[in-house]
Amino acid sequence: MTGRVKDVAAVAGVSISTASRVLRGISVEPELERRVKKAAQHLGYRPNGLAQALRGGRLGVIGLLIPDVRNPWSSDLARAVETVCRQSGLGVILCNSDNRPEQEDACLELLWNRRVDGLLLGSVRGEPPAQLADLVGRRWPVVALDDSCRGPGIDIVICDNHRGASLMAEHLAVHHRYRRIGLIKGPPKLASAEARETAFVTALPSLGARVVAEAAGDFTYEAGRAGMSEILAKRPDVQAVMATNDLMALGAIQACRDNGLKVPDDIAIVGFDDASISTLSGIGLTTVRQDLGDIAAACVTLLEDRIRDPGPARRQVCAVHLQIRSSCGCPTPHAQMKVSS
Amino acid sequence: MTGRVKDVAAVAGVSISTASRVLRGISVEPELERRVKKAAQHLGYRPNGLAQALRGGRLGVIGLLIPDVRNPWSSDLARAVETVCRQSGLGVILCNSDNRPEQEDACLELLWNRRVDGLLLGSVRGEPPAQLADLVGRRWPVVALDDSCRGPGIDIVICDNHRGASLMAEHLAVHHRYRRIGLIKGPPKLASAEARETAFVTALPSLGARVVAEAAGDFTYEAGRAGMSEILAKRPDVQAVMATNDLMALGAIQACRDNGLKVPDDIAIVGFDDASISTLSGIGLTTVRQDLGDIAAACVTLLEDRIRDPGPARRQVCAVHLQIRSSCGCPTPHAQMKVSS
DNA sequence: ATGAAAGCGCTAACAA
DNA sequence: TTGTTAGCGCTTTCAT
């Protein structure tokens, strides 16, 4: 298909193994090295990663399994992961599962067939896919982004959901003195969502506030909208609502507008994630920021560790902090929206 | 690493090639076939795609190069491409270039090193990356999503930008009878954007309207916002504005709000793309719909054709149609927002 | 220090 | 039909 080591060797007039050594940066007589490099350059030689991987090396590609890359948080994650990976010379195969077990299995099959070096699981709710246990058993390196997907050979990276929700509770109850608070929940069986909910609900009472209305949700815009309407119907006197992710918060803001309520004058809405897309609501969304750059870096580091040698499962928690904008009722410093490109 | 053909053969008590044949669905004596299948099942055998590809087959992975997957249109595209590919058993390696030549080159290098079967170029503005010519010269299958990236071995798939813009011009000028119209342009050197602009500007006069103010843009939310402000400052009497993509249209809507203008009561704003994220603006965005499912399917088909045999470059134009919602001033059928998950 | 040769897992041409 | 063998491009002993 293109220049091979053999060709380079032939042009340089050396043996294959000498050429290979030079190409791999192993010490060789200077004169030969020069000739080989020149030959490689001349032929536009590029190593065949497939052959290298087959020989025992690594392919230099990992899989990223998420529900849907169109979801703002997922695309932020995909972007962050790809950036980190590219810096390590790794490629990323993107797989969308729609949270459907059969699609998850199909993706795992695909990735395993290509002997991808490892898997980043940004997806799974509740039970891990059936295939997974088998693959992990075969020493396939896997890092998951939610506690739901725990297992012996699976590292976990998450942001500090508990702390994030607690901070937000404090901000709403102490700083703003809101008393009657609403909560739009995330998908059931998703540990991250549950952690946010529990921490939030638990933290409020000791701060003089409480959750007076809850709505179910599944992290979609529509769910946020519906959940908010439901809460307003149940408790028109609610003063602030936290959605367990930003996309639902945007939906909630829209629902408020639909009901003739102004955010944050009439009601405060806050989210969780600090997804880059949040600015599209036209309002500065107060939220809990998890730095996906950090998270992606942690994931890739753990994955590479595990690629090198198996070891026991680890769990890493990344820091979060409040990202205060205006939707909570705080005054807005002028034009603090972030560019979303 | 895991069961190989050799192992399957050993367990089944047949030769390697017999096992290989069964695994590849080639006719074999029923009894042997049964034994091989049972052995494969028992060992959890999965073919090693690397070895298959090295042997002369295909890896079953393509590259997708886009500027930034966080951009709504890009993530819609990535999703559509991945969906189509999965149905063909293809994996997709995602690469973000940020429109930076050095990143584009790094991505191409990565993809070529892994001997990916082909490349989908959803990115390049103006000059194609330096590497590309070389790789295409080596018969690497490439399909581009913009006319900017023309070349002998490069197929092109685009939506009918000309028709889309003309339809929109007609809708605004004839149906709504707007006379003074604004235009927020796309990135220079991007053929798709230029086609939209030219068609739009050209179509209006014969319909009794004209573009009274233009603003430069680069397809980002911020550009839409800035462009709109600029247009409003220049021509406060503008009746309708088309942005050459949806994200800028959302920015434009925000700018209108910032300036105390209601859309569509005071001014009409329309976009182009029908990105799934548009609903987040809280208003039904009238836009030109390009069906990314169709486009992705066309891309993958062309790519697979070209993988099979080179042939001359082809160019395929996909249909568009008006997606009329409320931002142009048309009455809204109740609750026609699309779920964005 | 350099070259010859084996082998990664697989398929296909050839031989039996 | 089935089995033996060569070889995809590369790295790595092993011998020189």
The pLDDT of residue B27: 78
Rounded to 10 degrees, what is the CA torsion of A129, A133, A138, A142? 70
- Whole-model pTM? 0.95
With 70 as the cut, is the pLDDT of residue A316 above it? yes
The pLDDT of residue B309: 86
For tokens 């669905």, name the residue. Answer: B25
CB A307 within 8 A of CB A118: yes
Task: Tell me the average pLDDT across B246-259.
Answer: 95
CA A42 to chain centre: 42
| Assigned token pair, A92 | 């990323």
pLDDT in tens, A54-80: 998 899 999 999 999 999 999 999 999
CA distance B41 to A196: 43
Task: Tell me the average pLDDT across B287-301.
Answer: 97
Contacts of residues A50-54 at CB distance under 8 Å and 24 or more positions apart, as own/partner, are A50/B50, A50/B53, A50/B54, A50/B59, A50/B114, A50/B115, A51/B54, A53/A115, A53/B50, A54/B48, A54/B50, A54/B51, A54/B54
For tokens 């927002």, name the residue. Answer: B337
Task: Tell me the average pLDDT across B143-154.
Answer: 92
Judge whether B1 is closer than 8 Å to chain A, CB to CB.
Answer: yes
The pLDDT of residue A341: 28
The pLDDT of residue B333: 64
Task: Tell me the average pLDDT across B143-157.
Answer: 93
From edge to edge, which strands make up the β-sheet containing B180-184?
A: B210-215, B180-184, B240-243, B268-270
The pLDDT of residue A219: 96
Which residues between 32 and 91 in chain A have a beta carbon less than 8 angstroms from any beta carbon of chain B?
A: 44, 46-51, 53-54, 59-61, 64, 68-72, 75-76, 78-79, 82-83, 86, 89, 91
pLDDT in tens, B89-137: 999 999 999 999 999 999 999 999 999 999 999 977 877 888 898 899 9
| Pairing label, strands B287-290, B320-323 | antiparallel
CA distance B310 to B295: 20
With 50 as the cut, is the pLDDT of residue B70 above it? yes
The pLDDT of residue B279: 81
Q: List all residues 6 or more positions away from B52 whose beta carbon is below 8 Å from its beta carbon.
A: none
Task: Tell me the average pLDDT across B202-228.
Answer: 97
The pLDDT of residue B183: 98
Helix (H, G, I), strand (E, B) or coil at A210: strand
Nearest Cα to Cα of residue B69 among B60, B82, B54, B59 = B82
CA distance A96 to A68: 5
With 80 as the cut, is the pLDDT of residue A161 above it? yes
Angle formed by the axes of helices B72-87 and A101-113, nearest 10°: 80
The pLDDT of residue B123: 78
Count of A–B CB contacts within 8 Å? 179
CA distance B24 to A247: 46
Q: Which comes out higher in pLDDT, residue A133 or A320? A: A320
Q: List all residues 6 or more positions away from A127 whose beta carbon is below 8 Å from its beta carbon.
A: A101
Nearest Cα to Cα of residue B131 among B99, B111, B110, B109 = B109
Residue in chain B closest to A82 (alpha carbons) equals B95
Q: List the single range of A97-101, B213-217, B334-338 with lowest mean pLDDT.
A: B334-338
The pLDDT of residue A333: 64
For tokens 């500090």, name the residue. Answer: A160
pLDDT band at B1 (very low <50, low <70, confident <90, very high): low
Q: List the single range of A134-138, A269-273, B168-172 with lowest mean pLDDT.
A: A134-138
Q: Which amino acid is at B232?
A: L
CA B260 to chain centre: 35
The pLDDT of residue B336: 43
**A228/C13 CA-to-C1' distance in Å:** 69
CA distance B139 to B148: 20
With 90 as the cut, is the pLDDT of residue B271 above it? yes
CA distance A148 to A195: 11
With 70 as the cut, is the pLDDT of residue A334 above it? no
Mean pLDDT for chain A? 93
CB A302 within 8 A of CB A155: yes
Task: Tell me the average pLDDT across B60-65.
Answer: 98
CA distance B335 to B341: 17
CB B283 within 8 A of CB B269: no
pLDDT in tens, A215-249: 999 999 999 999 999 999 999 999 999 999 999 99
CB A193 within 8 A of CB A214: no
- Do the Cβ atoms of A47 and B1 come within 8 Å? no
CA distance A113 to A107: 10
List, in sequence order, the alpha helices (H) in A13-153.
16-23, 30-43, 49-55, 72-87, 101-113, 130-137
- Do the Cβ atoms of B115 and A50 come within 8 Å? yes
Helix (H, G, I), strand (E, B) or coil at A65: strand
CB B196 within 8 A of CB B243: no
CA distance A161 to A144: 15
The pLDDT of residue B334: 45
Helix (H, G, I), strand (E, B) or coil at A118: strand
List, in sequence order, the alpha helices (H) in chain A.
5-12, 16-23, 30-43, 49-55, 72-87, 101-113, 130-137, 161-170, 191-203, 221-234, 246-258, 292-308
Residues of A in contact with B78 (CB under 8 A): 69, 78, 94
CB < 7 A from strand C, the residues are A 14-18, 27-29, 32, 51, 54-56; B 1, 4-6, 16-17, 20, 23-24, 47-48, 51-52, 54-57
From edge to edge, which strands make up the β-sheet containing A210-215?
A: A210-215, A180-184, A240-243, A268-270
- Do the Cβ atoms of A94 and B92 come within 8 Å? yes
Judge whether A310 is closer than 8 Å to chain B, CB to CB.
Answer: no
Q: List the single range of A129-143, A318-332, B180-194, B258-272 with lowest mean pLDDT.
A: A129-143
Strand partners, A121: A65, A144
Nearest Cα to Cα of residue B297 among B120, B107, B93 = B120
- Do the Cβ atoms of A96 and B112 come within 8 Å? no
With 60 as the cut, is the pLDDT of residue A49 above it? yes
Residues of A in contact with B96 (CB under 8 A): 79, 82-83
| Assigned token pair, B28 | 């074999």
With 80 as the cut, is the pLDDT of residue A332 above it? no
The pLDDT of residue B339: 31
CA distance B290 to B80: 12
Angle formed by the axes of helices B5-12 and B16-23, nearest 10°: 110
- Do the Cβ atoms of A110 and B96 come within 8 Å? no
DSSP-derived letter for residue B153 is T
Q: Which comes out higher in pLDDT, residue B11 or B279? A: B11
With 50 as the cut, is the pLDDT of residue A3 above it? yes
- Give, in order, the Cα–Cα distances in Å from B232 to each of A71, A86, A115, B217, B329: 33, 42, 56, 15, 18
With 90 as the cut, is the pLDDT of residue B310 above it? no
CA distance B161 to A65: 33
Burial status of residue A190 (CB atoms within 10 A of its CB: 0-12, 13-18, 19 or more): buried
Task: Tell me the average pLDDT across B41-69.
Answer: 96
CA distance B47 to B56: 15
Q: Which comes out higher in pLDDT, residue A336 or B83? A: B83
Residue B323, phi then psi, degrees to nearest 5? -115, 95
List, in sequence order, the alpha helices (H) in B171-242.
191-203, 221-234
Task: Tell me the average pLDDT across A280-306.
Answer: 94
pLDDT in tens, A179-214: 999 999 999 999 999 999 999 999 999 999 999 999
Q: What share of chain B has pLDDT > 70, as a percent? A: 97
CB B155 within 8 A of CB B314: yes
Question: Nearest 5 degrees, angle CA A224-CA A226-CA A231?
Answer: 90
| H or E stretch at B167 | helix B161-170
For tokens 């702390």, name the residue. Answer: A163
